[in-house]
Amino acid sequence: MNPGLNNLQPYPFQRMRALFGDAVPNESYAPINLSIGEPKHPTPDLIKNALISELDKLANYPLTKGSDELRNAIAGYLTTRYQLGTINSDSQILPVNGTREALFAIAQCLVEKEAAVLMPNPFYQIYEGAALLAGAQAVYLNTTRENGFLPDIENVSKEQWQQCQLIYLCSPGNPSGTVAPAPLLKRLIELSDLYDFTIVADECYAEIYPTNGTPPVGLLEVAQSIGRSDFRNCLVFHSLSKRSNAPGLRSGFVAGDAKLINSFLQYRTYHGSAMSPPSQHASAIAWQDNAHVIENRRLYTEKFAAVIDILKHDINIVEPDAGFYLWLNLDNRPGDSRSSNKDWQRSDTQFAKQLYQQYNVTVLPGSYLSRKSDGVNPGCGFIRVALVADLEQCVDAAKRIRDCIKQ
Ligand X SMILES: Cc1ncc(COP(=O)(O)O)c(C=O)c1O
Restricted to residues 198-237, the positions that interact with ligand X (CB under 6 A) are: 202, 204
What lies within 8 Å, CB to CB, of 246 at 6+ separation is 43, 47, 240, 282, 286
Q: How far apart are CA 353 and CA 25, in angstroms?
A: 9
Binding to ligand X by residue 99, rule CB under 6 A? Answer: yes
Binding to ligand X by residue 124, rule CB under 6 A? Answer: yes
**Residue 237 or residue 304: which is nearer to ligand X going by CB?**
237
**Residue 192 or residue 241: which is nearer to ligand X going by CB?**
241
Binding string, 31-50, against ligand X, x = CB under 6 A? Answer: ------x-------------
Q: Which stretch binds ligand X (CB under 6 A): 98-106, 224-232, 266-274, 295-303?
A: 98-106
Binding to ligand X by residue 62, rule CB under 6 A? Answer: no
Q: Least distance (Å) from ligand X to the CB of residue 288?
A: 19
Size of the site for ligand X (CB under 6 A): 13
Restricted to residues 137-176, the positions that interact with ligand X (CB under 6 A) are: 170, 174
- 85 three-class SS: coil
**Residue 44 or residue 252: which is nearer to ligand X going by CB?**
252
**Residue 204 or residue 286: which is nearer to ligand X going by CB?**
204
Tell me the three-class secondary structure of 189-235, residue by residue: HHHHHHHCCEEEEECCCCCCCCCCCCCCCCHHHHHHHCCCCCCCCEE
Residue 264 CA: distances (Å) to CA of 195, 196, 255, 260, 379? 21, 17, 11, 6, 33
**Residue 96 or residue 223: which is nearer to ligand X going by CB?**
96
Q: Least distance (Å) from ligand X to the CB of residue 249?
A: 9
Q: Least distance (Å) from ligand X to the CB of residue 343?
A: 33
**Residue 82 or residue 168: which is nearer to ligand X going by CB?**
168
Which H or E element spans position 164?
Answer: strand 164-170
Is there a contact between 362 and 34 (Cβ–Cβ < 8 Å)?
yes
Q: Which stretch binds ligand X (CB under 6 A): 40-48, 66-74, 92-100, 146-154?
A: 92-100
Is there a contact between 114 and 138 (Cβ–Cβ < 8 Å)?
no
Q: Least distance (Å) from ligand X to the CB of residue 177?
A: 11
| DSSP 8-state symbol, 249 | G
Q: Is 114 left (phi over 0), alpha (psi -120 to 50) or beta?
A: left
Q: How far apart are CA 404 and CA 5, in angstroms?
A: 38
| DSSP 8-state symbol, 31 | -
Q: At what angle do helices 99-110 and 125-133 cross, to 10 degrees?
A: 30
Q: Least distance (Å) from ligand X to the CB of residue 15?
A: 17
Read off the amino acid at residue 198. T
Q: Which stretch binds ligand X (CB under 6 A): 40-48, 93-101, 151-159, 299-307?
A: 93-101
Alpha-carbon dihedral sign for residues 283, 289, 290, 296: negative
**Residue 202 or residue 221: which is nearer to ligand X going by CB?**
202
Q: Least distance (Å) from ligand X to the CB of residue 248?
A: 9
Q: How far apart are CA 196 and CA 250, in angstroms?
A: 31
**Residue 12 or residue 247: which is nearer to ligand X going by CB?**
247
**Residue 224 or residue 283: which is nearer to ligand X going by CB?**
283
- Out of 100, 268, 281, 346, point to the residue binding ligand X (CB under 6 A): 100
Restricted to residues 230-259, the positions that interact with ligand X (CB under 6 A) are: 239, 241, 247, 252
Is there a contact between 172 and 323 (Cβ–Cβ < 8 Å)?
yes
Binding to ligand X by residue 384, rule CB under 6 A? Answer: no
Q: Least distance (Å) from ligand X to the CB of residue 247?
A: 5
Q: Least distance (Å) from ligand X to the CB of residue 355?
A: 21
Binding to ligand X by residue 296, rule CB under 6 A? Answer: no
Binding to ligand X by residue 385, rule CB under 6 A? Answer: no
| CA proximity to 36, closest of 388, 374, 407, 278 | 388
Q: Least distance (Å) from ligand X to the CB of residue 97?
A: 8
Alpha-carbon dihedral sign for residues 242, 243, 246, 250: negative
Q: Least distance (Å) from ligand X to the CB of residue 321?
A: 14
Q: Is 306 left (phi over 0), alpha (psi -120 to 50) or beta?
A: alpha
The secondary structure of the chain in percent helix, strand, coil, rounded to multiples of 5, reads 45, 15, 40
> Which residues form the interface with ligand X (CB under 6 A)?
37, 98-100, 124, 170, 174, 202, 204, 239, 241, 247, 252
